[in-house]
Chain A
Amino acid sequence: KAGVTQTPRYLIKTRGQQVTLSCSPISGHRSVSWYQQTPGQGLQFLFEYFSETQRNKGNFPGRFSGRQFSNSRSEMNVSTLELGDSALYLCASTTAGGNTGELFFGEGSRLTVL
C-alpha cells in the first residue's frame, strides 16, 4: 500500500510569491491534515479536511488555505509568502472518519522563502 505522497519535496520561493503544495493520502483515507514544522515551534496544526470539507482550522493567517478533492487528495496554498513561512509542511492522512486515530505522515514539502 502506497504511503502518503507529498509534492514537491523541495521548493524555493521569494517573498510575495505564492505556493501550492499537494498531498495524496493513503488509499481509503478520507481525512487529510496539514502541519507546519519549524525547529523552534515543533509541529503546528494548519487545517484538516474530511470529505472535501474543512473540519478544523488552526491559528494561522488567512494567507494559508487549503482544499480537498473528491478523491481525497488535498492541496494547501500560501499566498504573499513571508520569510517566516520557511518550514517543512507535513501532510497526514488517517482512516478514522469519526474519531481520532493514527496520523500517517508524508515526507513533507520543504519550503524556503528568500
Chain B
Amino acid sequence: GENVEQHPSTLSVQEGDSAVIKCTYSDSASNYFPWYKQELGKRPQLIIDIRSNVGEKKDQRIAVTLNKTAKHFSLHITETQPEDSAVYFCAATTDNYGQNFVFGPGTRLSVLP
C-alpha cells in the first residue's frame, strides 16, 4: 500500500522567511495530493492541493510542487506570519472513487516573531 513520509517533523522560521515541507510517496499510481493545516486544538483544514497532471500550483503565499518521477511533493510558504504556526499534513491517494487518504506524520511549523 501507499506510504507517505514527511520532513522535517518540526520547523522553526523567523517571521517573513520562507518555509518548505517535503513529502515523498511510494505508490506511483497516487494521483491527488492535498495539504492540510491543523492549528492547535482545531480541526484539519485543506489549504492547497494538486493533482498528478499538474506540476505546480500557487495560492497567494502558498505553493505546492509535484515531481512525479521522483515521487515527491513539497509545500512552500513565503513571507511567513505568526498565524502560519500549525501542524501541516501532506496526503496522497490512489483512489479515484473514494476518500482513502494516506497522511504523512505531520510537520509542526513555528513562526517566530
| Chain A residues near B (Cβ < 8 Å) | 31, 33, 35, 40-45, 48, 50, 55-56, 58-59, 90, 92, 94, 96, 98-103, 105-108
Contact = CB atoms under 8 A, between A and B. Distances in A.
Contacts of A100: 32, 93, 95-96, 98-99, 101
B45 interface: yes
Contacts of A31: 98-99
Q: Which label, helix, strand, loop or mixed, suits the secondary structure of the B interface?
A: loop
Interface in B36-73: 36, 42-46, 49
Query: Which 8 pairs between the two chains have the least Cβ-Cβ distance?
Result: A56-B100, A43-B103, A105-B43, A42-B105, A100-B32, A33-B99, A56-B98, A102-B46
Interface of B: 1, 32, 34, 36, 42-46, 49, 89, 91, 93, 95-106
A107 B43 contact: yes
Contacts of A101: 99
A42 B101 CA distance: 12
B66 to A, nearest CB: 15
Given A43-B89, A98-B97, A100-B93, A105 B102 contact: no
Contact of A106 (B34, B43, B104, B105): B43
